Structure 1
Amino acid sequence: MSSTNITSVLQETRTFPPPAEFAAQAHVKSDAEYEELWWQAKNDPVAFWGSMSTNLDWFEPFSKVMEGEMPNTKWFVGGRLNASYNCLDRHLNTWRRNKAAIVWEGEPGDTRVLTYLDLHRETCKFANVLKSLGVVAGDRVTIYMPLVPEIIVAMLACARIGAVHSIVFGGFSADAVAERNNDAQAKVVITADAGWRRGKEVELKSAVDVSLEKSPSVRQVVVLRRTGSPVQMVPGRDHWWHDLMAEAPLECEPASLDSEHPLFIL
Protein backbone atom coordinates (compact mmCIF):
# COMPACT_ATOMS: atom_id res chain seq x y z
CA MET A 1 0.00 0.00 0.00
CA SER A 2 1.33 3.44 -0.88
CA SER A 3 1.82 6.19 1.68
CA THR A 4 -0.85 8.17 -0.17
CA ASN A 5 -3.44 5.52 0.60
CA ILE A 6 -2.35 5.32 4.25
CA THR A 7 -2.64 9.08 4.62
CA SER A 8 -6.06 8.97 3.03
CA VAL A 9 -7.27 6.44 5.58
CA LEU A 10 -5.81 8.42 8.50
CA GLN A 11 -7.60 11.57 7.34
CA GLU A 12 -11.03 9.99 6.97
CA THR A 13 -13.73 12.64 7.36
CA ARG A 14 -16.89 10.72 6.56
CA THR A 15 -19.44 10.16 9.31
CA PHE A 16 -21.96 7.34 9.62
CA PRO A 17 -24.97 8.40 11.68
CA PRO A 18 -27.06 5.66 13.30
CA PRO A 19 -30.51 4.85 11.91
CA ALA A 20 -33.19 7.23 13.15
CA GLU A 21 -35.16 4.46 14.87
CA PHE A 22 -32.02 3.43 16.79
CA ALA A 23 -31.15 6.98 17.80
CA ALA A 24 -34.71 7.53 19.02
CA GLN A 25 -34.14 4.92 21.75
CA ALA A 26 -30.94 6.52 23.06
CA HIS A 27 -30.76 8.57 26.24
CA VAL A 28 -28.90 11.25 24.28
CA LYS A 29 -30.44 11.37 20.83
CA SER A 30 -28.32 13.90 18.95
CA ASP A 31 -25.12 15.93 18.96
CA ALA A 32 -27.16 19.00 19.81
CA GLU A 33 -28.66 17.30 22.86
CA TYR A 34 -25.20 16.21 23.97
CA GLU A 35 -23.85 19.75 23.61
CA GLU A 36 -26.74 21.08 25.70
CA LEU A 37 -26.04 18.56 28.47
CA TRP A 38 -22.33 19.39 28.37
CA TRP A 39 -23.01 23.09 28.81
CA GLN A 40 -25.42 22.43 31.66
CA ALA A 41 -22.76 20.37 33.47
CA LYS A 42 -20.11 23.03 32.87
CA ASN A 43 -22.18 26.05 33.85
CA ASP A 44 -24.06 24.65 36.84
CA PRO A 45 -22.59 21.31 37.98
CA VAL A 46 -24.62 21.27 41.21
CA ALA A 47 -27.94 21.52 39.39
CA PHE A 48 -26.85 19.18 36.61
CA TRP A 49 -25.53 16.36 38.77
CA GLY A 50 -28.34 16.81 41.26
CA SER A 51 -30.74 16.19 38.39
CA MET A 52 -28.74 13.19 37.12
CA SER A 53 -28.79 11.65 40.60
CA THR A 54 -32.54 11.09 40.31
CA ASN A 55 -31.75 8.29 37.84
CA LEU A 56 -30.35 6.26 40.74
CA ASP A 57 -32.03 4.58 43.69
CA TRP A 58 -30.68 5.83 47.02
CA PHE A 59 -30.89 4.03 50.35
CA GLU A 60 -30.33 7.37 52.09
CA PRO A 61 -30.59 10.75 50.36
CA PHE A 62 -27.57 13.05 50.18
CA SER A 63 -27.53 16.45 51.85
CA LYS A 64 -25.29 18.21 49.32
CA VAL A 65 -24.41 17.47 45.70
CA MET A 66 -20.87 18.84 46.02
CA GLU A 67 -18.62 19.89 48.87
CA GLY A 68 -15.18 21.45 48.44
CA GLU A 69 -13.20 22.46 45.38
CA MET A 70 -11.83 20.33 42.58
CA PRO A 71 -9.92 18.07 42.59
CA ASN A 72 -10.82 17.34 46.22
CA THR A 73 -14.57 17.60 45.80
CA LYS A 74 -16.80 15.26 47.78
CA TRP A 75 -19.89 14.15 45.88
CA PHE A 76 -23.43 13.50 47.11
CA VAL A 77 -22.44 14.07 50.74
CA GLY A 78 -24.19 11.76 53.19
CA GLY A 79 -25.91 9.73 50.48
CA ARG A 80 -25.86 5.93 50.59
CA LEU A 81 -26.50 3.52 47.72
CA ASN A 82 -25.24 0.35 46.04
CA ALA A 83 -24.12 -0.08 42.43
CA SER A 84 -25.21 -3.73 42.28
CA TYR A 85 -28.69 -2.78 43.48
CA ASN A 86 -28.96 -0.09 40.85
CA CYS A 87 -27.81 -2.45 38.10
CA LEU A 88 -30.03 -5.36 39.11
CA ASP A 89 -32.48 -5.27 42.03
CA ARG A 90 -34.47 -2.23 41.00
CA HIS A 91 -35.34 -3.90 37.70
CA LEU A 92 -36.73 -7.11 39.19
CA ASN A 93 -40.23 -5.72 39.74
CA THR A 94 -40.40 -4.27 36.23
CA TRP A 95 -40.73 -5.63 32.71
CA ARG A 96 -36.93 -6.00 32.62
CA ARG A 97 -37.01 -8.90 35.11
CA ASN A 98 -36.97 -11.51 32.34
CA LYS A 99 -35.25 -9.35 29.74
CA ALA A 100 -31.75 -10.27 28.58
CA ALA A 101 -29.13 -8.41 30.60
CA ILE A 102 -26.18 -10.18 28.95
CA VAL A 103 -26.11 -11.76 25.50
CA TRP A 104 -22.73 -13.45 25.19
CA GLU A 105 -20.88 -15.39 22.51
CA GLY A 106 -17.54 -16.96 23.35
CA GLU A 107 -14.65 -17.39 20.99
CA PRO A 108 -15.22 -21.11 20.37
CA GLY A 109 -18.84 -20.25 19.47
CA ASP A 110 -20.58 -21.10 22.74
CA THR A 111 -23.41 -18.75 23.67
CA ARG A 112 -25.29 -17.76 26.82
CA VAL A 113 -28.10 -15.38 27.66
CA LEU A 114 -28.59 -14.14 31.22
CA THR A 115 -31.72 -12.23 32.15
CA TYR A 116 -31.71 -9.59 34.87
CA LEU A 117 -33.16 -12.21 37.21
CA ASP A 118 -30.48 -14.75 36.25
CA LEU A 119 -27.73 -12.21 36.74
CA HIS A 120 -29.16 -11.15 40.10
CA ARG A 121 -29.19 -14.75 41.33
CA GLU A 122 -25.63 -15.43 40.18
CA THR A 123 -24.42 -12.15 41.66
CA CYS A 124 -26.03 -12.84 45.05
CA LYS A 125 -24.57 -16.33 45.16
CA PHE A 126 -21.08 -15.17 44.31
CA ALA A 127 -21.33 -12.31 46.78
CA ASN A 128 -22.00 -14.97 49.42
CA VAL A 129 -18.99 -16.92 48.12
CA LEU A 130 -16.80 -13.87 48.67
CA LYS A 131 -18.18 -13.41 52.17
CA SER A 132 -17.48 -17.08 52.94
CA LEU A 133 -13.84 -16.40 52.00
CA GLY A 134 -13.68 -13.58 54.52
CA VAL A 135 -14.10 -10.66 52.12
CA VAL A 136 -15.68 -7.60 53.73
CA ALA A 137 -16.45 -4.06 52.61
CA GLY A 138 -13.26 -2.23 51.68
CA ASP A 139 -11.27 -5.38 50.88
CA ARG A 140 -9.66 -5.51 47.43
CA VAL A 141 -10.29 -8.32 44.94
CA THR A 142 -8.27 -8.90 41.76
CA ILE A 143 -10.21 -10.22 38.76
CA TYR A 144 -7.97 -11.88 36.15
CA MET A 145 -10.34 -13.71 33.84
CA PRO A 146 -11.20 -14.34 30.20
CA LEU A 147 -14.16 -12.54 28.63
CA VAL A 148 -16.96 -14.65 30.08
CA PRO A 149 -20.23 -13.69 31.85
CA GLU A 150 -18.70 -14.66 35.18
CA ILE A 151 -16.43 -11.63 35.01
CA ILE A 152 -19.56 -9.43 35.21
CA VAL A 153 -20.92 -11.58 38.03
CA ALA A 154 -17.65 -11.14 39.94
CA MET A 155 -17.67 -7.35 39.53
CA LEU A 156 -21.30 -7.01 40.60
CA ALA A 157 -20.76 -9.36 43.54
CA CYS A 158 -17.87 -7.23 44.77
CA ALA A 159 -20.02 -4.12 44.44
CA ARG A 160 -22.84 -5.81 46.33
CA ILE A 161 -20.79 -6.32 49.49
CA GLY A 162 -18.62 -3.22 49.17
CA ALA A 163 -15.43 -4.98 48.09
CA VAL A 164 -13.25 -3.02 45.66
CA HIS A 165 -12.44 -4.90 42.45
CA SER A 166 -9.37 -4.50 40.28
CA ILE A 167 -9.66 -5.84 36.73
CA VAL A 168 -6.41 -7.15 35.24
CA PHE A 169 -6.37 -7.82 31.49
CA GLY A 170 -6.13 -11.56 30.80
CA GLY A 171 -3.19 -11.06 28.45
CA PHE A 172 -0.95 -9.56 31.14
CA SER A 173 2.00 -11.47 32.57
CA ALA A 174 2.40 -12.97 36.02
CA ASP A 175 4.63 -10.06 37.01
CA ALA A 176 1.95 -7.58 35.96
CA VAL A 177 -0.64 -9.46 38.02
CA ALA A 178 1.69 -9.41 41.03
CA GLU A 179 2.23 -5.67 40.66
CA ARG A 180 -1.50 -5.01 40.63
CA ASN A 181 -2.10 -7.35 43.55
CA ASN A 182 0.51 -5.44 45.53
CA ASP A 183 -0.74 -2.02 44.49
CA ALA A 184 -4.27 -2.92 45.58
CA GLN A 185 -3.22 -5.15 48.49
CA ALA A 186 -5.66 -7.69 47.10
CA LYS A 187 -7.03 -10.31 49.47
CA VAL A 188 -8.58 -12.60 46.83
CA VAL A 189 -7.86 -13.34 43.17
CA ILE A 190 -10.62 -14.55 40.84
CA THR A 191 -9.33 -16.29 37.72
CA ALA A 192 -9.93 -19.23 35.36
CA ASP A 193 -7.96 -22.28 34.33
CA ALA A 194 -7.40 -20.63 30.93
CA GLY A 195 -9.17 -18.63 28.26
CA TRP A 196 -9.42 -18.49 24.50
CA ARG A 197 -7.76 -15.77 22.44
CA ARG A 198 -7.52 -15.91 18.65
CA GLY A 199 -8.05 -19.65 18.63
CA LYS A 200 -5.39 -20.42 21.23
CA GLU A 201 -5.62 -21.32 24.88
CA VAL A 202 -4.12 -18.70 27.17
CA GLU A 203 -3.21 -20.08 30.59
CA LEU A 204 -4.35 -17.92 33.48
CA LYS A 205 -4.20 -20.02 36.64
CA SER A 206 -0.52 -20.84 36.12
CA ALA A 207 0.23 -17.11 35.80
CA VAL A 208 -1.65 -16.49 39.05
CA ASP A 209 0.41 -19.19 40.77
CA VAL A 210 3.63 -17.44 39.76
CA SER A 211 2.25 -14.01 40.67
CA LEU A 212 1.42 -15.10 44.21
CA GLU A 213 5.09 -15.81 44.87
CA LYS A 214 5.50 -12.01 44.76
CA SER A 215 2.16 -10.81 46.16
CA PRO A 216 1.79 -12.04 49.74
CA SER A 217 -1.43 -10.17 50.52
CA VAL A 218 -3.51 -12.69 48.53
CA ARG A 219 -4.97 -15.42 50.71
CA GLN A 220 -7.61 -17.07 48.50
CA VAL A 221 -7.97 -17.88 44.79
CA VAL A 222 -11.24 -18.74 43.03
CA VAL A 223 -10.83 -20.62 39.73
CA LEU A 224 -13.48 -20.83 37.01
CA ARG A 225 -13.28 -23.92 34.82
CA ARG A 226 -13.40 -22.47 31.30
CA THR A 227 -11.30 -24.55 28.88
CA GLY A 228 -10.65 -27.68 30.94
CA SER A 229 -6.92 -27.02 30.93
CA PRO A 230 -5.17 -28.91 33.76
CA VAL A 231 -4.15 -26.73 36.71
CA GLN A 232 -2.47 -27.14 40.06
CA MET A 233 -4.84 -26.44 42.96
CA VAL A 234 -3.24 -25.50 46.28
CA PRO A 235 -5.27 -26.96 49.18
CA GLY A 236 -6.67 -24.33 51.51
CA ARG A 237 -5.92 -21.50 49.06
CA ASP A 238 -7.46 -22.45 45.73
CA HIS A 239 -11.17 -23.14 45.22
CA TRP A 240 -13.20 -24.12 42.16
CA TRP A 241 -15.86 -21.57 41.28
CA HIS A 242 -18.50 -24.23 40.67
CA ASP A 243 -17.89 -25.95 44.01
CA LEU A 244 -18.29 -22.72 45.97
CA MET A 245 -21.34 -21.64 43.97
CA ALA A 246 -23.06 -24.98 44.55
CA GLU A 247 -23.05 -24.32 48.30
CA ALA A 248 -23.76 -20.58 48.28
CA PRO A 249 -27.12 -19.21 49.49
CA LEU A 250 -29.35 -17.52 46.91
CA GLU A 251 -30.03 -14.31 48.83
CA CYS A 252 -27.57 -11.54 49.64
CA GLU A 253 -28.73 -8.10 50.70
CA PRO A 254 -26.82 -5.24 49.05
CA ALA A 255 -24.59 -3.25 51.39
CA SER A 256 -25.59 0.35 52.04
CA LEU A 257 -22.45 2.24 51.03
CA ASP A 258 -21.40 5.86 51.28
CA SER A 259 -21.47 7.71 47.97
CA GLU A 260 -17.69 8.19 48.22
CA HIS A 261 -17.03 4.46 48.80
CA PRO A 262 -14.64 3.20 46.07
CA LEU A 263 -16.18 0.87 43.48
CA PHE A 264 -13.08 -0.30 41.59
CA ILE A 265 -9.38 0.32 41.00
CA LEU A 266 -8.37 0.91 37.40
Structure 2
Amino acid sequence: MDLPTDKELEERGIATNWNLRKPPLNLREDFKDRGLQIIVKLANIHLTPDNSEYAGGTWHVEGQLNEHICATALYYYDCVNITESRLAFRQQSSPPDRLDILYRQSWHKWLDDVYGFANEDATVQYVGDVRTQQGRLLTFPNIFQHRVEPFELEDPTQPGHRKILALFLVDPHIRVISSANVPCQRRDWWGEELERSRALPGKLPLEMKQEILSNMEDGDFPMSFKEAKKLRMELMEERKRYGGMQDRQFSDAFFSLCEH
Protein backbone atom coordinates (compact mmCIF):
# COMPACT_ATOMS: atom_id res chain seq x y z
CA MET A 1 0.00 0.00 0.00
CA ASP A 2 1.36 3.39 -0.98
CA LEU A 3 1.48 6.08 1.67
CA PRO A 4 -0.44 9.30 0.90
CA THR A 5 1.59 12.23 -0.35
CA ASP A 6 1.89 15.52 1.53
CA LYS A 7 -0.48 17.12 -0.97
CA GLU A 8 -3.11 14.42 -0.40
CA LEU A 9 -2.78 14.80 3.36
CA GLU A 10 -3.16 18.58 3.11
CA GLU A 11 -6.29 18.14 0.99
CA ARG A 12 -7.72 16.11 3.87
CA GLY A 13 -6.84 18.87 6.31
CA ILE A 14 -3.94 16.98 7.90
CA ALA A 15 -0.85 19.03 8.73
CA THR A 16 2.37 17.87 7.09
CA ASN A 17 4.81 20.44 8.43
CA TRP A 18 6.40 18.59 11.34
CA ASN A 19 9.39 20.90 11.62
CA LEU A 20 9.11 21.82 15.29
CA ARG A 21 12.46 23.56 15.52
CA LYS A 22 12.26 27.08 16.87
CA PRO A 23 13.49 29.88 14.60
CA PRO A 24 16.99 31.12 15.48
CA LEU A 25 17.16 33.85 18.11
CA ASN A 26 18.86 37.05 16.96
CA LEU A 27 18.83 39.70 19.69
CA ARG A 28 20.66 42.21 17.51
CA GLU A 29 18.01 41.98 14.81
CA ASP A 30 14.91 41.44 16.96
CA PHE A 31 15.62 44.32 19.36
CA LYS A 32 17.64 46.72 17.22
CA ASP A 33 15.03 49.47 17.64
CA ARG A 34 14.05 48.89 21.24
CA GLY A 35 17.51 48.06 22.57
CA LEU A 36 18.60 45.76 25.38
CA GLN A 37 19.00 46.41 29.09
CA ILE A 38 22.11 45.10 30.83
CA ILE A 39 23.00 45.10 34.54
CA VAL A 40 26.77 45.48 34.91
CA LYS A 41 28.74 44.17 37.86
CA LEU A 42 32.43 43.89 38.71
CA ALA A 43 33.38 41.16 41.18
CA ASN A 44 36.85 40.64 42.63
CA ILE A 45 38.21 38.03 45.02
CA HIS A 46 41.50 39.00 46.67
CA LEU A 47 43.65 36.53 48.60
CA THR A 48 46.69 37.25 50.76
CA PRO A 49 49.24 35.10 52.61
CA ASP A 50 47.18 35.71 55.76
CA ASN A 51 43.93 34.82 53.98
CA SER A 52 45.09 32.34 51.35
CA GLU A 53 41.91 30.31 50.69
CA TYR A 54 38.51 31.07 49.19
CA ALA A 55 35.96 28.71 50.72
CA GLY A 56 33.57 28.88 47.75
CA GLY A 57 30.31 30.69 47.12
CA THR A 58 26.69 29.77 47.76
CA TRP A 59 24.26 28.22 45.30
CA HIS A 60 22.15 30.96 43.74
CA VAL A 61 20.26 32.23 40.71
CA GLU A 62 21.12 35.79 39.71
CA GLY A 63 18.94 38.70 40.74
CA GLN A 64 15.47 39.08 42.19
CA LEU A 65 12.10 38.92 40.48
CA ASN A 66 11.85 42.67 39.87
CA GLU A 67 15.13 42.61 37.91
CA HIS A 68 13.89 40.04 35.35
CA ILE A 69 17.38 38.67 34.58
CA CYS A 70 17.10 35.98 31.90
CA ALA A 71 20.76 35.28 31.05
CA THR A 72 24.26 35.87 32.42
CA ALA A 73 27.64 36.49 30.78
CA LEU A 74 30.82 36.26 32.88
CA TYR A 75 34.19 37.39 31.55
CA TYR A 76 37.25 36.33 33.56
CA TYR A 77 39.68 39.06 32.63
CA ASP A 78 42.37 38.78 35.32
CA CYS A 79 43.50 35.74 37.34
CA VAL A 80 46.81 35.99 39.22
CA ASN A 81 48.50 33.43 41.49
CA ILE A 82 45.48 31.24 42.20
CA THR A 83 44.82 27.54 41.76
CA GLU A 84 42.24 26.26 39.30
CA SER A 85 38.85 27.88 39.83
CA ARG A 86 35.60 26.34 38.63
CA LEU A 87 31.95 27.37 38.38
CA ALA A 88 29.46 24.60 39.19
CA PHE A 89 25.85 24.35 37.97
CA ARG A 90 22.74 22.52 39.10
CA GLN A 91 19.05 22.60 38.20
CA GLN A 92 15.71 21.76 39.74
CA SER A 93 13.88 18.75 38.31
CA SER A 94 10.28 17.62 38.50
CA PRO A 95 10.06 14.34 40.43
CA PRO A 96 9.03 11.34 38.31
CA ASP A 97 5.77 9.54 39.06
CA ARG A 98 6.90 6.55 41.10
CA LEU A 99 3.80 4.59 40.00
CA ASP A 100 5.15 4.56 36.45
CA ILE A 101 8.50 3.06 37.49
CA LEU A 102 9.09 -0.70 37.46
CA TYR A 103 12.15 -1.82 39.41
CA ARG A 104 13.40 -4.41 41.86
CA GLN A 105 12.50 -3.39 45.40
CA SER A 106 15.31 -1.85 47.47
CA TRP A 107 17.51 -1.46 44.37
CA HIS A 108 17.89 2.29 43.84
CA LYS A 109 21.27 2.75 42.15
CA TRP A 110 19.63 3.41 38.79
CA LEU A 111 17.90 6.52 40.15
CA ASP A 112 21.08 8.58 40.16
CA ASP A 113 22.04 7.34 36.68
CA VAL A 114 18.63 8.14 35.18
CA TYR A 115 17.39 11.16 37.14
CA GLY A 116 20.50 12.57 38.78
CA PHE A 117 19.29 12.20 42.36
CA ALA A 118 18.88 9.41 44.90
CA ASN A 119 15.90 7.97 46.75
CA GLU A 120 14.78 10.18 49.66
CA ASP A 121 16.77 13.03 48.13
CA ALA A 122 15.96 16.51 46.82
CA THR A 123 15.08 16.58 43.11
CA VAL A 124 18.10 18.71 42.25
CA GLN A 125 20.33 17.62 39.38
CA TYR A 126 24.01 18.49 39.29
CA VAL A 127 24.71 19.62 35.72
CA GLY A 128 28.50 19.94 35.86
CA ASP A 129 31.20 22.56 36.27
CA VAL A 130 33.41 24.71 34.06
CA ARG A 131 36.99 25.86 34.52
CA THR A 132 37.07 29.66 34.88
CA GLN A 133 40.47 30.51 33.46
CA GLN A 134 41.66 33.98 32.49
CA GLY A 135 40.27 35.15 29.16
CA ARG A 136 37.26 32.84 29.26
CA LEU A 137 33.71 34.08 28.61
CA LEU A 138 30.85 32.02 30.04
CA THR A 139 27.21 32.56 29.09
CA PHE A 140 24.24 30.65 30.48
CA PRO A 141 20.47 31.07 30.98
CA ASN A 142 19.33 32.24 34.38
CA ILE A 143 17.51 29.00 35.17
CA PHE A 144 20.53 27.28 36.71
CA GLN A 145 21.79 27.69 40.21
CA HIS A 146 25.54 28.19 40.15
CA ARG A 147 28.33 28.38 42.69
CA VAL A 148 32.01 29.35 42.68
CA GLU A 149 34.04 26.35 43.82
CA PRO A 150 36.86 26.75 46.38
CA PHE A 151 40.35 27.81 45.32
CA GLU A 152 43.49 29.14 47.00
CA LEU A 153 46.78 30.88 46.39
CA GLU A 154 49.12 28.96 44.13
CA ASP A 155 52.14 30.53 45.84
CA PRO A 156 51.03 31.07 49.47
CA THR A 157 53.80 33.61 50.05
CA GLN A 158 52.41 36.06 47.46
CA PRO A 159 49.00 37.75 47.08
CA GLY A 160 46.64 36.76 44.29
CA HIS A 161 43.22 37.61 42.88
CA ARG A 162 40.47 36.73 40.45
CA LYS A 163 38.54 39.50 38.70
CA ILE A 164 35.42 39.18 36.55
CA LEU A 165 33.05 41.37 34.58
CA ALA A 166 29.44 40.20 34.90
CA LEU A 167 26.72 41.22 32.44
CA PHE A 168 23.14 40.31 33.31
CA LEU A 169 20.65 40.46 30.44
CA VAL A 170 17.21 41.74 31.40
CA ASP A 171 14.32 39.97 29.67
CA PRO A 172 14.16 41.92 26.37
CA HIS A 173 10.35 41.82 26.44
CA ILE A 174 10.21 43.67 29.79
CA ARG A 175 11.52 47.17 30.52
CA VAL A 176 12.79 47.86 34.04
CA ILE A 177 13.75 51.14 35.69
CA SER A 178 17.39 51.83 34.88
CA SER A 179 20.03 54.56 34.90
CA ALA A 180 18.20 56.00 31.89
CA ASN A 181 15.36 56.94 34.27
CA VAL A 182 17.27 57.76 37.48
CA PRO A 183 19.40 60.91 37.76
CA CYS A 184 22.87 60.97 39.28
CA GLN A 185 22.66 60.21 43.00
CA ARG A 186 26.20 61.12 44.09
CA ARG A 187 26.30 64.19 46.30
CA ASP A 188 29.96 64.95 45.54
CA TRP A 189 29.28 65.01 41.79
CA TRP A 190 26.23 67.19 42.39
CA GLY A 191 28.32 69.63 44.44
CA GLU A 192 30.97 69.81 41.74
CA GLU A 193 28.32 70.51 39.12
CA LEU A 194 26.79 73.25 41.27
CA GLU A 195 30.20 74.88 41.54
CA ARG A 196 30.89 74.54 37.84
CA SER A 197 27.49 75.89 36.78
CA ARG A 198 27.60 78.68 39.41
CA ALA A 199 24.19 77.64 40.75
CA LEU A 200 25.35 78.71 44.21
CA PRO A 201 25.93 82.45 44.64
CA GLY A 202 29.30 83.20 43.12
CA LYS A 203 30.35 85.63 45.87
CA LEU A 204 30.14 83.04 48.62
CA PRO A 205 33.55 81.90 49.88
CA LEU A 206 34.52 78.34 48.94
CA GLU A 207 34.49 77.32 52.61
CA MET A 208 30.88 78.46 52.98
CA LYS A 209 29.80 76.58 49.86
CA GLN A 210 31.42 73.43 51.21
CA GLU A 211 29.71 74.01 54.56
CA ILE A 212 26.31 74.24 52.84
CA LEU A 213 26.90 70.96 51.03
CA SER A 214 28.30 69.17 54.09
CA ASN A 215 25.28 70.13 56.23
CA MET A 216 22.87 68.24 54.02
CA GLU A 217 21.36 65.45 56.10
CA ASP A 218 21.42 61.79 55.21
CA GLY A 219 18.16 60.88 53.55
CA ASP A 220 18.25 64.01 51.42
CA PHE A 221 18.81 63.73 47.70
CA PRO A 222 21.43 63.27 46.39
CA MET A 223 23.08 60.88 48.84
CA SER A 224 26.47 60.99 50.53
CA PHE A 225 29.15 58.34 50.13
CA LYS A 226 28.50 57.22 53.72
CA GLU A 227 24.80 56.74 53.03
CA ALA A 228 25.52 54.94 49.76
CA LYS A 229 27.73 52.43 51.61
CA LYS A 230 24.98 51.92 54.21
CA LEU A 231 22.36 51.27 51.51
CA ARG A 232 24.77 48.91 49.77
CA MET A 233 25.13 46.83 52.94
CA GLU A 234 21.34 46.77 53.36
CA LEU A 235 20.96 45.60 49.76
CA MET A 236 23.55 42.86 50.26
CA GLU A 237 21.76 41.67 53.40
CA GLU A 238 18.42 41.65 51.55
CA ARG A 239 19.92 39.61 48.71
CA LYS A 240 21.48 37.23 51.22
CA ARG A 241 18.09 36.57 52.85
CA TYR A 242 16.41 36.20 49.47
CA GLY A 243 19.14 33.84 48.26
CA GLY A 244 18.72 31.66 51.34
CA MET A 245 14.95 31.51 50.88
CA GLN A 246 15.37 30.76 47.18
CA ASP A 247 17.85 27.96 47.88
CA ARG A 248 15.51 26.36 50.43
CA GLN A 249 12.65 26.42 47.94
CA PHE A 250 14.95 25.10 45.22
CA SER A 251 15.78 22.06 47.36
CA ASP A 252 12.34 21.67 48.93
CA ALA A 253 10.95 19.00 46.58
CA PHE A 254 11.98 15.48 47.63
CA PHE A 255 11.54 12.18 45.83
CA SER A 256 10.71 8.95 47.61
CA LEU A 257 9.85 5.54 46.20
CA CYS A 258 7.82 5.05 49.39
CA GLU A 259 8.51 1.34 49.79
CA HIS A 260 6.64 -0.55 52.52
- Which TM-score applies when normalising by structure 2? 0.23
The structure in which a higher percent of residues are helix is 1
- Which TM-score applies when normalising by structure 1? 0.22
The structure in which a higher percent of residues are strand is 2
Query: Which structure ranks higher in relative contact order (CA pairs < 8 Å, sequence separation ≥ 6)?
Result: 2
For the pair shown, the structure with the greater C-alpha radius of gyration is: 2
